[in-house]
Structure 1
Amino acid sequence: MRTAFFALAFAALAAATPTSTPKRRSLALSPAGTSTPPSKDAFYDAPSGFQRAANGHVFKARPVWTPFDSEASAAYQVLYKTTLATGGDAVTAATLFAPLEPVSPPRIMVLAAPIDSACRDCEVTFVLHNGSKSNATDFLLKSVAIDIFAGLHKGWYVAVPDHEGPNAAYIAGVQEAFGVIDGLRAMLNFPNILPKTDDYKAVIHGYSGGAHASAWANQFLPTYGSELNVVAAAYGGTPVSVSFDGLASISGGGSFLFWGALVGLSNAYPELDHFIRHQLFPNGTEAFEAARSLCNTQLGEYLGDKSLVSFFRNGAKTFTFSTALKYSKLGQLGEPVKKDISPAATTDGIVRRPTLMYHSSTDDIVPYAPVPAYVESQCKQGAKILFETAPGLTHTTAAIMWTADAYNFLESAFDGKLKLDKCQQKTGITTELGTDDFVAAIGQSAWNLIQSQMQSAS
């Protein structure tokens, strides 16, 4: 069911039929999106011969009606070519939005959503259109809504990809990087939304699980996305370390996230999937399969208050075996990824674009401790990162509080006014919640959603 937050949002929005811009080439359009989930919707199926297409090629498209039609002149779902983490060819989907009053030359924001599930039917393209019956988390809906409204208000084109790919490879950084980068290519290849690409600039943005995807895309840009004009990135609440070691002590509340991450990585890597399956007790196998058919927050009845290692025949020792260690290392942001792991493209782990990272030192979901060490390591290797931190904020609250700072940073990059010649660190948030400057940075529609969220939480 939709939250009270979204009920308010939907009630305030008038449904509008998207308009199309002139096309550079002919593309057959399917009917508008329905309540059919991706696993049963033929739109998401790869067409014959898709392997021959270039990454970012758009195979299918259909107009969709969304809660954001008051700020968008058009919205489409597209199916585009991408690459699996293991190097194979694949397709995935994205929702593309055109603003009412586009800035010229065009500005594009690739928004990586906190999908945070290893189930294909929890993907963000399914969540975003009217009539969807997705069971995705409220956090996904709320955070994506604010960002889409903010980007469209600024006159930016917005691409929201299913960056986990066709196998719902949650937290698999290589897969997420390819999905994000090819999502930008899909926008550039789809004239129904973006009629001209001359002198375009692009940015990458995301929070939480979306920050994980954004950060991985950022470090793969020099290789997998070298021709793309991405001028900056901004992300917060970033999981920089996804280690299996921590599973030994996890139970209760947030355990579904870590279980989903383990299943998501297994979705990406058949070797890991085979290993995990042979380590599980029967109740572990049941929970493992449940994570592939349910959104993360629905896993409570399978996980309960059990320690996650209780599902494994060898307990905590499971994660000391060589296969587990191999993929646990792959979960460390900033570490080099070589050809034997990622045949399609490698990375030295260093971000080359100006980047804003923000993270509350009292984050209750994504650990803060590894983040300053990651930033320090990046800075020593030549990265240009503005790292902002503040105490006293939960993970969810921080996402709201830093909204204006993130958009001001990205707009400065678009304007060519960003001065970040070297790493900088700052304590506190520059643009205070609710001030005129805050509202101006994100627009009235995004601010209305934030107010609705605050009211429903009080």
Structure 2
Amino acid sequence: MPRPISRRASRLTAVLALALAACTLSAHTAGGEPGHAPSTRAAAALPPDDFYLPPSTLPDGKPGDVIRSRKIDPGTPTPRALADTWQVMYRSTDALGRPHAVTATVMVPKGGTPASRPIVGWGPGTQGPAFRCTPSRMIAKGALYEQWVINAMLKAGYAVAIPDYEGYRPGPKTTYMVGKSLGPALIDAVRAAQRLPAAGLLADAPVAFRGYSQGGGAALWAGEFQPDYAPELKLKGIVAGGVPGSLMEVALPLNGRPGSGFLFYALIGLDNAYPELKFADVLNDAGRAMVADLETGGCALEMINKYGNKPLSTYVTRSPLVDAPWVARYTENTLGGTPKIKVPVFQYHATQDALVEPNQADALHKQYCAQGVPLTWKTYDTTGRPPVADHLWPIQAANAEAMTYLADRFAGRSPAPNCS
């Protein structure tokens, strides 16, 4: 059983339940202490920024090579005090295997020797399709809702690389929930951190991947890709919570419920990744307006407030969900299909998660166990918590165990898998 939640944390969970959904993260503010959820007004205030415009011709290089970088000061005092911070643009690989540019944030703890730092690739949770929602822009503004998790890792002495994932730029075309894009973006953010001269990190530094919800999926996708895509990384372990391993099994229960806006976003993301899907061909006038609205200004709050509890049928002339091209891409972006993870994994999930279906996560952990992955599985009882709160609680409840798991992997201690 999880430890009892405090009155203050309970009140905070209620606040977040109104503000975030589907693949969002924690019950802490960007500054690292319990408090209120960040306001979208901070996101709206961000000015245009040409740093995020990819070059018209991608420079020669390999995945993880830095294209450009700049040092920044995060928007809240705690991360400013803890770390030196850079934004980077780097080469990566999209879902079709083509080179492209992605942006990220690299944070290195102040003091000590950077060359001694382990590196954690942190996969951020759902931010939203609009450019103003870009994770690195939220860090710069002090509005990233999972900053508290990053702060904890910085305090532990780890450098942290946080990708924005594909498509965050002016005129965004994000590929939300497309694992074939998420995995390389996270891996290459770590490579970019290692290749950024100012950061002082080592190419052979020990590495871990960590994330929750969308970010948990990114961490496991990175783990599946790593042996072939980045065999040089000294990967020691993975921590992944609230994982949407099967897109179909996660998406269908969201339709017409509080997380339905995240279903719509996932369809937009798949369509951006795979041009043959032609989502526009089945959109009605309301659907075209919805897509334009989300890509222009939609962050997590808008996805709940404006598009929660609405069925897909409101926006389409017919559902594309069972069309063969869509099914092929869902299947291709289902975790566990290729047994490639070679390192210990800590996977956890809420027992009553109304937003990321728990049975598919349980099936994924059993599939990994059958493949021989040294996996530790844990569930957190969220019986009686309302939707969104039932999804958010485990990231807070599991943080101490997640931090211990990372410390043990970096120290070379053997894990204690509980596969039966």
Query: TM-score when scaled to structure 2?
Result: 0.81
Deviation at 1:125, TM superposition (A): 0.4
Report the Cα distance in structure 2 between the residues aligned to 1:245 and 1:396, rounded to whole angstroms: 16
Partner of 1:441: none
**Residue aligning to 1:27:** none
Contact 1:334 1:378 in 2 (8 A): yes
Q: Deviations over 1:286-339 (max 9, x none)?
A: 112222222243145653543113322124xx322211211221232112xxxx
The higher-RCO structure (CA 8 Å, 6+ apart) is 2
Structure 2: which amino acid aligns with 1:177?
Answer: G
User: Aligned equivalents of 1:100 and 1:183: distance in 2?
Assistant: 20
Q: Is 1:186 paired with 2:192? A: yes
Q: Secondary structure, in 3 states, of the residue corresponding to 2:177?
A: coil
Identity, % of aligned positions: 25
Q: What's 2:276 paired with? A: 271
Which whole-Å CA distance do the structure 2 matches of 1:101 and 1:233 have between them? 26
Q: Aligned equivalents of 2:185 and 2:269: distance in 1?
A: 14
2:72 maps to which residue?
64
SS, match of residue 387 in structure 1: strand
Q: 1:407 — aligned with what?
A: 403
Map of 1:397 onto structure 2: 393
User: Which residue is equivalent to 1:112?
Assistant: 123
CA distance in 2, matches of 1:78, 1:382: 36
- TM-score for both structures, normalised by structure 1: 0.75
2:234 aligns with 229
Q: Greater shift after overlay, 355-364 or 94-103?
A: 94-103
Secondary structure class of the residue paired with 1:52: coil
1:51 positional shift: 4.0
Inter-CA distance 189–407: structure 2 relative to 1 (3 Å threshold): same
Match for 1:170: what amino acid? Y
Is 1:220 the counterpart of 2:216? The answer is no
Q: Distance in 2 between matches of 1:49 and 1:75?
A: 27
For residues 353 and 70 of structure 1, the distance between their equivalents in structure 2, rounded to whole angstroms, comes to 32
- Asked if structure 1 preserves the Cα contact closer than 8 Å seen for 2:127 and 2:135, the reply is no
Alpha carbons of 1:203 and 1:305: their partners in 2 closer, same or farther (altered >3 Å)? Answer: closer
Indicate conservation of the 8 Å contact 2:92/2:100, yes or no: yes
Match among 90, 110, 123 for residue 100 of structure 2: 90
Paired position in structure 2 for 1:350: 340
Pairwise CA RMSD: 2.8
How many Å separate the matches in 2 of 1:96 and 1:46?
18
Say whether 1:323 aligns with 2:331: no
Deviation at 1:239, TM superposition (A): 0.8
| AA of the residue aligned to 1:125 | S
Q: Could you tell me which residue of structure 2 aligns to residue 438 of structure 1?
A: none
For 2:34 and 2:370, how far apart are their aligned partners in 1?
50
**Alpha-carbon distance between aligned partners in 1 of 2:181 and 2:404, rounded to the nearest angstrom:** 29
Structure 1 residues 251-296: Cα deviation after superposition (integer angstroms, max 9, x where no partner):
1411111111111111111112x2x111121111211222222224
Residue among 356, 370, 382 paired with 2:372? 382
Which residue matches 1:291? 294
Shift in CA distance, 102/200, structure 1 to aligned 2, threshold 3 Å: farther
Change in CA separation of 1:416 and 1:7 when aligned onto 2, cut-off 3 Å: closer
The separation in 2 between residues aligned to 1:78 and 1:355, in whole angstroms, is 28
Letter in 1 for 2:62: A
Indicate if the aligned counterparts of 1:355 and 1:386 stay in contact, CA closer than 8 A: yes
Distance 1:109 1:9, change over 3 A: closer
Match of 1:45 in 2: 53
Give the aligned partner of residue 25 of structure 1: none
Secondary structure, in 3 states, of the residue corresponding to 1:323?
helix
The separation in 2 between residues aligned to 1:235 and 1:41, in whole angstroms, is 32
For residues 402-430 of structure 1, the C-alpha deviation after alignment (integer angstroms, 9 at most, x for no partner) is 0010010011000001334xx4159xxxx
Query: Over residues 46-90 of structure 1, what are the superposed CA-to-partner deviations in whole Å (9 max), with x where a residue is unaligned?
Result: 235424122111121111111234543411111111111112221
- The answer to whether the 8 Å contact 1:356/1:387 transfers is yes
Taking the aligned partners of 1:357 and 1:150, their CA distance within structure 2 comes to: 19
Q: Name 1:156's counterpart in structure 2.
A: 158
Q: Which amino acid aligns with 2:382?
A: G
1:210-264 deviation digits (Å, cap 9, x = unpaired): 1111111111111111111111110111111111895487114111111111111
Distance (Å, rounded) in 1 between the aligned partners of 2:339 and 2:53: 32
Q: Tell me what 1:258 maps to.
A: 263
CA contact (8 A) 2:369 2:419 kept: no
Residue 243 (structure 1) aligned with residue 248 (structure 2): yes
Larger deviation, residues 385-394 vs 250-259: 385-394
SS in 1 for 2:237: strand
Q: Unaligned stretches of 5+ in structure 2?
A: 1-15, 20-26, 36-43, 384-389
For the 8 Å contact 1:244–1:324, the answer to whether it is kept is: no
TM-aligned CA deviation for residue 45 of structure 1: 1.8
Which whole-Å CA distance do the structure 1 matches of 2:164 and 2:250 have between them? 28
Secondary structure class of the residue paired with 1:266: helix
Deviation at 1:392, TM superposition (A): 2.6
- Counterpart CA distance in 1 for 2:33 and 2:391 is 25
Aligned residues: 374
Change (3 A) 1:71 1:411: farther
SS of the counterpart of 2:282?
coil
Q: 1:169 aligns with which of 142, 156, 175?
A: 175
Give the 3-state SS of the residue equivalent to 2:236 in structure 1: strand
Provide the residue aligned with 1:200 in structure 2.
205
Shift in alpha-carbon separation, 1:244–1:149, aligned structure 2, 3 A: closer
The alpha-carbon distance between structure 1 residues 362 and 183, as it changes in their structure 2 partners (threshold 3 A), is: same
Task: Name the CA shift for 1:116/1:216 in 2 (closer, same or farther; >3 Å).
Answer: farther
Is residue 418 of structure 2 the alignment partner of residue 424 of structure 1? yes
The structure-2 alpha-carbon separation of the partners of 1:304 and 1:88, relative to structure 1 and needing over 3 Å to count, comes to same
Distance change in 2, residues 1:353/1:297 (3 Å): same
3-state DSSP of counterpart to 1:75:
strand
Q: Are residues 102 and 265 of structure 1, via their aligned partners in 2, closer, same or farther at CA, if it must alter by over 3 Å?
A: farther
CA contact (8 A) 1:102 1:157 kept: no
**1:148 Cα deviation from its structure 2 partner:** 1.4
Select which of 133, 144, 152 maps to 1:122. 133
